Structure 1
Amino acid sequence: MKTLLLSMITALTLVTSPMALAQDKTLRVGMSGQYFPFTFVEQDQLKGFEVDVMNAIGKELGRDVEYSTAAFSGLFGMLGSGRIDTVANQITITDARKQKYVFTQPYVYDGAQVVVKKGNDDIKGVEDLKGKKVAVNLGSNYEALLKDLPYADEIDIRTYESNIEQDTALGRVDAFVMDRISASQVIKEKPLPLALAGKTFSKIENAYPFPDTEEGRALRDEVDQAITTLRENGTLKKISETWFGSDITTP
Structure 2
Amino acid sequence: MCDLRRNPDDGPENDKDGKNTMKLLPTLFAAGLLQLAAFAPAEAGSNLNEIKSAGVLKIGTEGTYAPFTFHDASGALVGFDVEIGREVAKRLGVEAEFLEGKWDGLIAGLDANRYDAVINQVGITEERKKKYDFSEPYIASKAVLIVRGDNEEIKGFADLGGKKAAQSLTSNFGKLAEASGAELVGTEGFDQSIQLVLTGRADATINDSLSFLDFKKQKPDANVKIAAEKPDADHSGIIVRKGEPELLDAINKALAEIKADGTYAQISQKYFGADVSK
* TM-score in terms of structure 1 length: 0.85
2:149 paired with 1:118: yes
Deviation digits for residues 162-202 of structure 1 (CA, Å, limit 9, x no counterpart): 41111100111100011111112122213631111122355
Query: Match of 1:236?
Result: 264
The answer to whether the Cα contact below 8 Å between 2:165 and 2:177 also exists between their aligned partners in 1 is: no
Higher RCO, Cα 8 Å, sep 6+: 1
Query: Match of 2:201?
Result: 172
The answer to whether the Cα contact below 8 Å between 1:107 and 1:227 also exists between their aligned partners in 2 is: yes
The answer to whether the Cα contact below 8 Å between 1:117 and 1:169 also exists between their aligned partners in 2 is: yes
Runs of 4+ in structure 1 off by over 6 angstroms are none
2:60 paired with 1:30: yes
Give the count of matched residue pairs: 227
2:81 paired with 1:50: yes
- Distance verdict in 2 for CA 1:169–1:23, change over 3 Å: same
2:168 paired with 1:137: yes
Extract unaligned runs of 5+ from structure 1.
1-17
Q: Which has the larger radius of gyration?
A: 2
Give the whole-Å Cα distance in 2 for the aligned partners of 1:20 and 1:98: 24
Query: Match of 1:8?
Result: none
Partner residue of 2:251 out of 215, 218, 223? 223
Give the whole-Å Cα distance in 2 for the aligned partners of 1:156 and 1:124: 17
Query: Match of 1:183?
Result: 212
Deviation digits for residues 69-102 of structure 1 (CA, Å, limit 9, x no counterpart): 1111121121110011111111000111001100
Deviation for aligned residue 1:131: 2.2
Identity of aligned residues (%): 31
The alignment yields a C-alpha RMSD, in angstroms, of 1.7
Aligned 1:7-18 pairs, distance under 5 A: none
Deviation digits for residues 26-60 of structure 1 (CA, Å, limit 9, x no counterpart): 11001110001111112221011111111111112
User: Residue 222 of structure 1 aligns to a residue in which SS?
Assistant: helix
* TM-score in terms of structure 2 length: 0.77
- Distance verdict in 2 for CA 1:126–1:138, change over 3 Å: same
Extract unaligned runs of 5+ from structure 2.
1-46
Q: Which amino acid is 2:149 matched to?
A: K
Deviation for aligned residue 1:130: 1.9
- Distance verdict in 2 for CA 1:235–1:99, change over 3 Å: same
Give the whole-Å Cα distance in 2 for the aligned partners of 1:20 and 1:212: 16
